[in-house]
Amino acid sequence: MAEAETPVAPVKPEPVRVYRHRLPARIWHWVNAVTLLILLMSGLMIFNAHPRLYWGEYGANFDRAWLVIGSTPDSGYLRIGDYRVDTTGVLGRWTDAQGAEKTWAFPGWATIPTSYSLADGRRWHLLFAWVLSIGLTLYMVWTLVGGHLRKDLHIRRAEWSPRHIWHDAKEHARLRFPRGEAAARYGILQKLSYIGVIFVLLPLMIATGLTMSPGMNAAWPWLLDVFGGRQSARSIHFIAAWALILFFLVHIAMVLLAGPVNEIRSMITGWFRLPPEREERA
C-alpha cells in the first residue's frame, strides 16, 4: 500500500477573493432589507383599510376604482379594470391562524400587525418611511461622492448597445453567469436594476408617499401636478411597491443561482470569491 503511487490531486486553484462591497453599501443593504419589509407589510395593512385604487384627485366607494380586492359571501376576488379573478383563501377572503374567516384584502401573514389595525400599520409605516428616506439620501450622496456610481454603476457607451443588452439577457435566461474577473463587475442588467431601484423606484415611493399627505400638499402643491392627483399618487405608490417586490424576487433568485453563501457572505464581510473560469467541455 505504501508503495502505491500517490494519486495526482487535481490542481485546485486558490479562489480569488475581491473586496466587492464597501461598508456603507453593506450597512445600507441590510438596513434597507429590514426597512422595506416593514414598509411593505405595514403598507399592505394600510391598503386593507380601503382596498380600492383610483386615478385622479379623488376616489371613494361610489367612484370607479381601477383595482379592487373584495369579497362576496363565499369568495374573495381581485378585480383590475374589467378583469376579475377569484382569490379565495389568499385575497379578500381567507382564514387566519386561529381558523377564523376574514374578509380583509391582504391576509394576516402579509401585514404588520397581523390582525387589522390601521393605526398601528400607520405608526410602523410612517416611522420606517423616515429610515428609508434618510438612508436613501445618505446612500445617494455616498454613491456620488464615494465613486460607487462612477466606478461600479456607470453604464459605458458600449454597454448600451442593444446587442450587448440582448446578449446579457440571454446569458441570464440560460442561467450562465459571469465567472472569473467578469464576476467582480456588474453586468448591464444588474446596473440597470440597481440604478432603477436606487434612483427611480425608491425616490418614486417616497415622492408618491408624500403626495398623499395633506400637509405636504399645502407645502408642495406641485407634487399633485407631477402625479396627477392624490389618488393617482396612491395608485402609483402601490404599483411601484409591486415593482420593488418583483426586483426582490429576481434579486433573491439570482443570489440563489449565483451561489448564496458566497453572495451573502460578500454582503456581510465585503469579500467576494470569484467563481473560477468555466472549463471547456470536451
Partner 1 sequence: MNSIVLPRRQLIARAGGLVAAAGALPLLSGCDAINDAPAVRKILSMGEEMNRASQRALIDRNALAREFSRADLSPYFRPNGTRLPAGAAYAAHAASGFADWRVKVTGLVARPLSLSMADIRAMPQRIQITRHDCVEGWSAIGQWTGPQLRDILAGAGVRDSARYIVFRCADRLGDTLYYESCDMVDALHPQTIMAWALNGKILPIANGAPLRLRIERQLGYKHAKYVNAIEAVASLDQIGAGKGGYWEDRIDYEWYAGI
Interaction with partner 1 in 1-40: which residues (CB under 8 A)?
none
Do 237 and 212 contact (CB within 8 A), yes or no? yes
Number of chain residues interacting with partner 1 (CB under 8 A): 53
Among 44, 46, 136, 197, binds partner 1 (CB under 8 A): 46
Backbone angles phi, psi at 94, to 5 degrees: -150, 170
Q: Does 212 bind partner 1 (CB under 8 A)?
A: yes
Q: Does 189 bind partner 1 (CB under 8 A)?
A: no
Q: Does 52 bind partner 1 (CB under 8 A)?
A: yes
Spatial distance between the Cα atoms of 104 and 126, rounded to a whole number of angstroms: 21
- For partner 1, give the closer residue by CB, 17 or 122: 122
Of residues 6, 30, 68, the one with CA closest to residue 238: 68
Q: Does 126 bind partner 1 (CB under 8 A)?
A: yes
Residue with C-alpha cell 443570489? 255
Q: Does 169 bind partner 1 (CB under 8 A)?
A: no
Torsion on CA atoms 228, 230, 235, 236, rounded to nearest 10: 60
Do 230 and 217 contact (CB within 8 A), yes or no? yes
Do 57 and 231 contact (CB within 8 A), yes or no? yes
Distances (CA, A) of 26 to 30, 36, 198: 6, 15, 14
CB of 10 to partner 1, least distance (A): 19
Of residues 32, 6, 259, the one with CA closest to residue 128: 32
CB of 128 to partner 1, least distance (A): 8
Q: What is the arrangement of strands in the sheet containing 83-86, beginning at the earlier edge strand?
A: 52-53, 67-72, 75-80, 83-86
Among 112, 136, 240, 274, binds partner 1 (CB under 8 A): 112
Q: Does 264 bind partner 1 (CB under 8 A)?
A: no
Among 114, 165, 247, 267, binds partner 1 (CB under 8 A): 114
Q: Does 213 bind partner 1 (CB under 8 A)?
A: yes
Interaction with partner 1 in 81-100: which residues (CB under 8 A)?
97
Q: Does 246 bind partner 1 (CB under 8 A)?
A: no
| Contacts to partner 1 by CB under 8 A | 46-47, 49-50, 52, 57-63, 97, 108-109, 112-115, 117-120, 122-124, 126-130, 174-176, 210, 212-219, 221, 224, 230-231, 234, 252-253, 256-257, 260
